[in-house]
A = this chain, B = another copy of it.
């Protein structure tokens, strides 16, 4: 029952949030955005696409907008939420795996060795994901994720991760949808992880979540078929894999793409090199006070979590991709601030 109450509460919250966003948009479609280059570019782009008298007009069926998830739609520091989920799962499953006490990378997690953790390779993370996020069915996995999301709190904000979505991006998604766009999440993170909350938080259904996936096996339990998550990578939809994933899952080239790191580079390139009016935007985390500030564009060291190297900044400038300053472009960052 508890899980049902949580679901109902979350659903109600989502409805209220969507209603609030819709009401605010009646006057200004992007009320949490300060007037500036980024906001004007969005408004002008939508006009180019939807005004049937313009040569840049695009029929509704072709209006595709893709959004990266971590760092573009919600907070990704100090670590991707799926990473934090994996670490909590290691602790939870450790009693069943006494060998982990001596085994890298599990040992580092169990002893809280944050220095070793910061140096984890992709291979280390894949091992942790395989050990903690496979071996259950596709029906069981989202329940595990939802139960974690219902109790986990962000270490700095002391709030559920699902509270830490960016209100300006919720408005942007709602505005694009109101103008006939189909909005997709295209994440380097796990497709099934994001699907577990995307509909409630963003109004984005499972079939519009493109992400990395493990192989899945058709098996039987008590005579009924199940899909079992296997410890084997199937697709990685990051970097060039985002463009490949867009083609595989959507089969259409987006007109608008939003990201925040070098993992989004090819998605923006693929989108903005199409014909007609296209738009690519990168969120710059430059607001240490309200959220976080990181990356070389600010004279700060680059980070493995949401890397935004100088080369990407230069490329954005030379190719006309917009850089959204969280500090300057966003009046409000989180929905809870707006209340």
Identity of the chain B residue whose Cβ is nearest the Cβ of A271 in the assembled complex = B225
Q: Does A163 contact B (CB under 8 A)?
A: no
Contact (Cβ within 8 A) A213 B248:
yes
Identity of the chain B residue whose Cβ is nearest the Cβ of A246 in the assembled complex = B227
> Smallest CB–CB gap between A205 and chain B, Å?
6
Question: Cβ of A61: which chain B residues have Cβ within 8 Å of it?
Answer: 205
Identity of the chain B residue whose Cβ is nearest the Cβ of A192 in the assembled complex = B251
Question: Cβ of A252: which chain B residues have Cβ within 8 Å of it?
Answer: 205-207
Binding site for B on A (CB under 8 A): 61, 138, 182, 191-192, 195, 205-207, 209, 213, 216-218, 224-225, 227, 234, 240, 243-244, 247-252, 266, 269-270, 273
Contact of A206 among B205, B234, B250, B273 (CB under 8 A): B250
Question: Cβ of A244: which chain B residues have Cβ within 8 Å of it?
Answer: 216-218, 227
Contact (Cβ within 8 A) B249 A207:
yes
Identity of the chain B residue whose Cβ is nearest the Cβ of A61 in the assembled complex = B205
> Smallest CB–CB gap between A230 and chain B, Å?
10
| Docked pose: A206 CA to B217 CA in angstroms | 25
Identity of the chain B residue whose Cβ is nearest the Cβ of A269 in the assembled complex = B225
Question: Cβ of A206: which chain B residues have Cβ within 8 Å of it?
Answer: 250-252
Identity of the chain B residue whose Cβ is nearest the Cβ of A227 in the assembled complex = B247
Q: A269-B225, A270-B225 are in contact. Are A247 and B195 (CB under 8 A)?
A: no
Contact of A227 among B209, B213, B243, B249 (CB under 8 A): B243
Contact (Cβ within 8 A) B266 A218:
yes
Contact (Cβ within 8 A) A251 B216:
no
Q: A244-B218, A249-B207 are in contact. Are A266 and B225 (CB under 8 A)?
A: yes
| Docked pose: A39 CA to B266 CA in angstroms | 49
> Smallest CB–CB gap between A14 and chain B, Å?
13
A-B contact pairs, 11 of them (CB 8 A): A191-B248, A192-B251, A205-B252, A206-B252, A207-B252, A213-B248, A216-B247, A217-B240, A225-B269, A225-B273, A227-B247
Question: Cβ of A270: which chain B residues have Cβ within 8 Å of it?
Answer: 218, 225
